[in-house]
Structure 1
Amino acid sequence: MTVSPTTIRVRDARADDWPSILPFFREIVAAGQTYAYDPALTDDQARDLWMSPSSAVTSRTSVAIDAEGNILGSANMYPNRPGPGAHVASASFMVAASARGQGVGRTLCEDMITWATERGFRAIQFNAVVETNTAAVHLWQSLGFRIIGTVPEAFHHPTHGYVGLHVMHRPLPIRQP
């Protein structure tokens, strides 16, 4: 499948999108290269982990779709920490293998940055970007994120062994009330 970044659209995920998200969620988690999610998660546990409740005000799950409405990828976004840390957003992104390298991740992240800015978050922090996931690291850097630290050997990669997890940060414009 080839898509053009100009034909990718992002919308809020709906409950009936989960069956289209689950296959690439399972594939990415099973590969063990980018997420520290347990591959033994049941489908219900995976759904509860990924899909934000439709009533949530400070969290959201989105999907990137092509011109025909096919789901190419998904993101979930939320406050990084509760309470006094809730002014910093965080997010996770997954793109179907057939759509990688075609602007889907960039489009999802640009949408997430807009979402976080509009909700008054002061920054975005990604807590665990696997250092060997160079495509994601370069993408996030091109969108204004900086590596502010790396936790050594915090992720057990199936081929590279123990590798670091980057903490990446991007300030957001402060909205005036």
Structure 2
Amino acid sequence: MIKPITRSEFESFWPVFSRVIQAQETYAFAPDMALEQAYELWCELPLRTFVYVEQGEVLGSYYIKANAAGPGSHVCNCGYMVSEQARGKGIAQALCEHSRQQALALGFKAMQFNSVVSTNEVAVRLWQKLGFDIVGRVPGAYRHARLGYVDTFVMYKWLADEG
């Protein structure tokens, strides 16, 4: 079930969030970020934040927000995280499809991911399967904990014709 996140659900998701950012393989967030900072970043600053809950356990989450202001405010941006034990079970796809529906309901015309780490091949393949194109490559833009400097992709999908 995908639903708006509560404070207590974020707190139960915090260990997953913390492991993801500490791994320094997919998100450009400070690896020593505290729970309060993470809550503000993930839950308070975006327009909406959702969780995927199954049998009372939070298995994934995403946020949606405008990618830019003014003339660029019709393009949204999302971030997704899925717990390790839930990966490969279609949860990221379900979250992305839900975010597409939310984007359209909120009036967005397109979705853009600004910094998909190129070595995150599972995510890149999934986003491409869901219709996102790689529209840009930023060489060496991410300092991966194990691999050093790797490229990031800008990925984009026009949504307006899907509503």
Q: TM-score range by the shorter chain?
A: over 0.9
Distance across 2 between alignment mates of 1:12 and 1:82: 24
Distance 1:99 1:175, change over 3 A: closer
TM-score normalised per structure 2:
0.95
Q: What are the superposed Cα offsets for residues 35-83 of structure 1, whole Å, 9 maximum, x if unpaired?
A: 0100121211111111136xx7xx11000111x1211010011000122
AA aligned opposite 1:49: L
Q: Does 1:98 find its partner at 2:85? A: yes
In 2: Cα distance, 1:84 partner to 1:173 partner: 16
1:122 corresponds in structure 2 to 109
2:136 corresponds to which letter in structure 1? G
Whole-angstrom distance in 2 between the partners of 1:147 and 1:175:
19
Tell me whether 1:167 sits opposite 2:158 in the alignment.
no
d(CA) in 2 for partners of 1:52, 1:10: 18
String of CA shifts for 1:1-40, please: whole Å, max 9, x gaps. xxxxxxxx21111122121111100000000000010012
Cα distance per residue 1:56-115 (max 9 Å; x no partner): 7xx11000111x121101001100012221100110000011101111100100000010
**Which residue of structure 1 lines up, in the alignment, with residue 49 of structure 2?**
61
Residues 155-164 or 144-153, more deviating: 155-164
Task: Map residues 32-43 of structure 1 onto 2, 5 A cutoff.
Answer: 32-43=24-35
Runs of 4+ in 1 over 4 A off after TM superposition: none
Report the structure, 1 or 2, having the larger helix content. Answer: 2
Identity of counterpart residues, as a percentage?
Answer: 40
Residue 173 of structure 1: how far off its partner (Å)? 2.1
Distance 1:10 1:119 in 2: 17
Distance 1:174 1:120 in 2: 12
What's the RMSD between the two structures over aligned residues? Answer: 1.5
Whole-angstrom distance in 1 between the partners of 2:36 and 2:114: 24
What's the counterpart of residue 4 of structure 1?
Answer: none
TM-score by length of 1: 0.88
- Gaps of at least 5 residues in structure 1 are 1-8
